[in-house]
Structures are given as structure tokens and as C-alpha cells.
Structure 1
């Protein structure tokens, strides 16, 4: 079976602005609700609003085990930004 699927990916699309603190937590919900059926929407986030989680087909949680920043490695262009 061959399907063509569009996959828009936005890293930190919601995490860059904490919508709950701005009192507009509904902001990502219309985006999710209005996407086309053949579009896979990928969002990375933290402190995700429950309404976003409820609409998701897949939710994963990551945790830091080890990070090179702790050893003094600074942010690198192309890796971090």
C-alpha cells in the first residue's frame, strides 16, 4: 500500500510560548482540529495542555539521562539552533 502523507514538523512549536501563562491555552487546539486528514502533525513540547494530548494519536515522554551541557559543552549552531 502506497500513501502520500504530508508531515509538517515544528520543534518547540508550543514550548516556545507557554500558552497557559499567556491565558491563551486554546491556541494550538484549532490548528490540530483544522488539519487535513492526510496531514501528520508532529509537535514537540513540554508542559503540554491536556486538550492537545487528548487530540494526539501518539504521545511520548522523554527525560534527560545525560547531557553534554553539564560537562561544559556550549550550544552548537546546527545542533541546538
Structure 2
């Protein structure tokens, strides 16, 4: 898919890649969360948990690894 390719390509040239809310699912589908911990919107926990390579964080708003910061929408309120 073009959007997934776009995510992978752009990630190669960024210092920090972020997503908001269920955007973590786009990063997951792009393979950018493989081997990482990631939060998402509480209604998307099950979907993100379907990726065996990702550890879903349910009790944090973000994970700061200097690489990926999937955020949940409550941080923006």
C-alpha cells in the first residue's frame, strides 16, 4: 500500500516518528513498531495486540525511545 510505503520511507529520514491515537496501527502495519513497545487508543488494544512483534502498553500515554512516540489523543486535550 502506498501509505505504508510512505511511512517506511519517511521514517528513514526523520529523527522522531510519531502517531496519534490509532495511528499506532498504521505504524504497526508499516512494520515500524516491530520489536518495540507502543500504546494506542484503548479501543484499539486488541488490534495492536494482534501484531506478535509489538508489546502493547496499556498504562502509559507514550513511549520515548528517541525513535517512535505513538501518542494517545488524551495528550492533545
The verdict on a shared fold, with TM-score over 0.5 as the criterion, is no
TM-score with structure 1 setting the length: 0.34
TM-score with structure 2 setting the length: 0.35
